[in-house]
Amino acid sequence: MKDLMLKWKLVALFSLITSFVFAQTQPEIILVEGGTYQMGRDYELVAKDGVDIGLDDETPSHKVSVSGFYLGKTEITVAQYREFINSNSDGIKMPLSPNEIDYGMEIIDPKTKQRRKKTWYDEHTEVAKWTWKEQNPITGITWKDALLYCNWLSEKNNLPKAYSFKNVEIGEKIFEEVIELIDDKGKPTKDITKVKGYRLPTEAEWEFAALGGTQTKGYKYAGSDNPNEVAWTDETTFGKRPMPVGSLKANELGFFDMSGNAWEWCWDNYQKEYYKSSKNAQNPLGAERSYYRSVRGGSWYYMSFLARVVVRDGPKYTYTNYNYGFRIAKSK
């Protein structure tokens, strides 16, 4: 009987510790009330020398409406992502740190004059060496990595998954992975409000939140017209590395680092000309089909100009590097 009681006490203690650890790494989310706004821009951004430095995919400005949703207060941190890695059984590993990348070649070390493996730093000599720090944004994440984290977090919180993954035969013994949004019944949907699990924000949701939602003051950056107040970028990190989330000023709704620190994956298929066909859209999901996915917000390694709220980019969905991270969203 004593052995049984001891066993149950140990089980209870383990459960308590597990619950505490999970509570420490559970992402905090903020409610964004829905609304209608002007997405993108129409004006020309002109440098001091008179040269237009705007980007074509930011135009034209167009009216978009989004329903209420929740969004992560910060980007997903190294600690939060590490819990996912330690909990999953799919063989997913932490991204490699810069000095772990194997370029498949050797070089002569300029200091020791000895042969060694080539590292990321050999091509980025201006970047200070950094390692995974628990409160920094996780980077080196592909779009699919972010989706898998969202599904895992949904399961942890007893919510339906937001994404389904299946291989579809497109030719003889040739398969393509199809990833779809799914509702709480597990059925594919294009209505983002019916997706009840944790997910990535859409581009329209991301931009609306970064602008400050219904509380917007119209800043160029997320929370200020001065990027130094809100954004870790090439000009402000100095040491050229990711910085702890939430260490600069928040925007009007309380979100941190929506400008700078890490580019953030969104759900949408990226298409440069998409804004020309998405006027007056309600909860748009991006282009119908593309091998590219949208990222927003700029990063620690890019100039502050690219941390403006309206800036878009669209890397291939299988691609990543030390600039790409994400934050979670959830339908209201």
Nearest to 71 by CA among 204, 190, 161: 204
Nearest to 314 by CA among 254, 252, 269: 269
**Domain 28-97+132-331: assigned CATH number:** 3.90.1580.10
- Tell me: the pLDDT tens digits for 2-29? 454 444 444 344 333 333 344 468 999 9
CB 219 within 8 A of CB 259: no
CB 249 within 8 A of CB 233: no
Q: Using DSSP, state whether 313 is helix, strand or coil.
A: strand
Helix (H) or strand (E) holding 31: strand 29-32
**Count of residues for the chain?**
332
pLDDT score at 24:
60
List, in sequence order, every residue forming a beta bridge with 62; answer none if it has no partner. Answer: 39
- Tell me: the pLDDT tens digits for 131-182? 889 999 999 999 999 999 999 999 999 999 999 999 877 667 676 788 999 9
Q: Where are the domains of the chain?
A: 28-97+132-331, 99-130
List, in sequence order, every residue forming a beta bridge with 63; answer none if it has no partner. Answer: 38
pLDDT band for position 62 (cuts 50, 70, 90): very high
β 312-313/293-296 pair status = antiparallel
CB 184 within 8 A of CB 160: yes
CB 36 within 8 A of CB 68: no
C-alpha distance across the termini of the chain, in Å: 48
Q: How much is the pTM?
A: 0.88
